[in-house]
Chain A
Amino acid sequence: MSFERLCRWPAALVMAFLFAAPLGVIAAYSFLTRGAYGGVEHPWTLDNYARLLDPLYGSILLRSFWIAGVATALCLICGFPLAMFIARAGRRKNLYLALVILPFWTSFLIRIYAWMFLLRDTGLVNTILLATGWVREPLPLLYNDGAVILGLVYGYLPFMVLPLYAALERQDNLLLEAAADLGARPLDVFRRVTLPLVAPGIRAGTILVFIPCLGAYLTPDLLGGGRTVMVGNLIQNQFTTARDWPFGSAASLVLMAIGVGLLWSATRKEGADIL
């Protein structure tokens, strides 16, 4: 078999045994019944999927899409200039890259606690604002959707920056210079040369951010004060407190199906394959 075909085998084997097979188990679970104390029991049923038709879950989904969408857009806007900066940094590229990742070597939970400390009524931001007289009462920076979005952007920025960097890094400066020499303004150069070249990076970054944001549960829980339910919270809850694995499995499969549908329609429009 040719080298190029063989290349895919290790990955394919890993995915078959450590992803597809376990996923098959979850799919089976989604058609079973809840065991009294977690786990599953026999009667096969379509109940779990029927339950999902309830408008309660539809509203949860819409809300999650909204929050995840805003967070992804912000990640793109904030991450792009940073990725450009790193890609053009010459010798220090890897250093700057590492600096992006560095904060993420602390524990995820602790980073969220640090943000809670910063955003609280008696937290650092409000203390400074009050001390400098900008506001007279503490601003409610925590326990709302804004805080959740901030937390999501903070938590997923590297996942946008790294693929963008990978695509931008290749940027041929000669190409840019040529365009400039031919009289194109910087904005045009950006729009017509840079952007198309970096499109795969943008697509990759968007997938790596939007989908996990949908499934996030710790950030909305802690920074949102548990006041709202996102899809991630719903699913997490089913596998833990509610001990309803079949329903959780069904909800997950539906979420994944929607995600696949979205990605498929997005790539069809551009005629290219992300993967």
Chain B
Amino acid sequence: MKRALALYAVAAYAFLHLPLLVLAAFSFNRSRFMRWEGFSLEWYQAAFSNPQLMEGASNSLLIAAIATILSTAIGVLGAYGLWRRRSRFLSASLYLSLLTPEIVTGVSLLVFFQWIFRVLDIRLGMHTVILAHVAFSIAYVVVVILARLQTMDATLLEAALDLGASPSEAFRRVILPVLGPAVAAASLLAFTVSFDDYVITSMVAGVDSETLPMAIYAIARRGSSPVLNAISTLIVAGLGFLTLASERLRRR
């Protein structure tokens, strides 16, 4: 069974990574069209000298990092709270948040922010994007953490409480350690949805808060260019390397 699973996993990973390999291959293509015309690094040069792409990338990373930390923290606590005590409002709004089409979330937040801005003297900017990202990623975190909590045996927790631990201690020492992998999975998911988001971000971004997906869409929808392949390959390579490195560090 283990061998069968491993073989399957290889096939599954190949499926997942095939487009990525295609992208990477064509990022080294001399021509701007998708026919191979020779090896060239010009698109990487173009990517680095494109201020929109560079700024977009750094904005995206910053936003995703902050939003992930916030939504994971809030989401883990919220999931635990929901697991212990039901809350109709919270469950309902989390459900609905997953059901809402992105364009609706984007438009509703835009209109809502604009109303608020009539009272407070601020504008759309990085802060509105981060708030929007936290808002839509919390539900993902909660769903993943809850899925893990619901397979958990509550008796361990009860035992700790009976033995005199305060609820917050019990959470910190009994639940949290066990949640480790689920939290990793949830934060990975939250980071990804934040980093990759286009529709919602484009609606609530301000003049100075353009993100990488926005920069990419702008270039792509009017006729794609291999500079996008280059930046994508760079990002994946960079983030992949970081992930590998942090894995190594963790295990030491």
- Decide whether A and B are members of one complex: yes
| Residues of chain A whose beta carbon lies under 8 Å from any beta carbon of chain B | 2-12, 14-16, 18-23, 25-26, 29, 78, 81-82, 84-86, 88, 91, 93-111, 113-115, 117-118, 124, 154, 157-159, 162-163, 165-167, 169-170, 186, 197-198, 200-201, 203-204, 207-208, 211-212, 215, 217, 231-232, 235-236, 239-240, 245, 248-249, 252, 255-256, 259-260, 263, 272-275
| A98 touches which of B115, B188, B251 (Cβ 8 Å) | B188
Stretch of B44-52, B119-127, B224-232 on the interface side: B224-232
Closest CB-CB distance, B134 to chain A, in whole Å? 6
Across the interface, do B81 and A5 meet the contact criterion of CB distance under 8 Å? yes
Q: What chain B residues lie within 8 Å of A5 (beta carbons)?
A: 81, 85
Evaluate whether A23 and B96 lie within 8 angstroms (CB atoms) in the complex, with A105-B195, A170-B151, A207-B143 already known.
yes
Q: Which of B111, B185, B221, B235 neighbours the largest number of chain A CB atoms within 10 Å of its CB?
A: B185
Interface of B is mostly: helix
Q: Which of A8, A10, A96 contacts B82 (CB 8 A)?
A: A8
CB pair B99 A167 closer than 8 Å: no
A4 to B86, CA, bound (A): 11
The interface of chain B, by Cβ under 8 A from chain A, is 1-2, 5-6, 8-9, 12-13, 15-20, 22-23, 26, 34, 73-75, 77-78, 80-82, 84-87, 89-91, 93-105, 107-109, 111-112, 115, 131-132, 134-135, 138, 140, 142-148, 150-152, 166-168, 171, 181-182, 184-186, 188-189, 192, 195-196, 198, 212-213, 216-217, 220-221, 224, 228-229, 232-233, 235-236, 239-240, 243-244, 247, 250-251
Of listed B17, B144, B167, residue having the most chain A CB within 10 A: B144
Contact between chains at B235 and A105 (CB < 8 Å):
yes
| Interchain CB contact under 8 A, B23 and A109 | no
In the complex, the answer to whether A255 meets B192 with C-beta atoms within 8 Å is: no
- A122 to chain B: closest CB distance in Å? 9
Do A113 and B220 touch across chains, with their CB atoms under 8 A apart?
A: yes
Q: Contact: A15 with B244, CB < 8 Å? A: no
- B17 and A105: CB pair below 8 A? no
Given contacts A5-B81, A110-B216, A117 and B99 within 8 Å (CB-CB) = no
Tell me the interface secondary structure of chain A in the complex. helix
Contact A215 B147 (CB under 8 A): no
Complex-state Cα separation, A273 to B94, whole angstroms: 13
A118's contact among B22, B144, B216, by CB below 8 Å, is which? B22
The complex places the Cα of A94 from the Cα of B181 at a distance, in Å, of 8
User: Are A215 and B102 neighbours in the complex by a CB distance under 8 Å?
Assistant: yes
What residues of chain B lie closer than 8 Å to A12, measured between beta carbons?
Answer: 78, 87, 89-90, 93
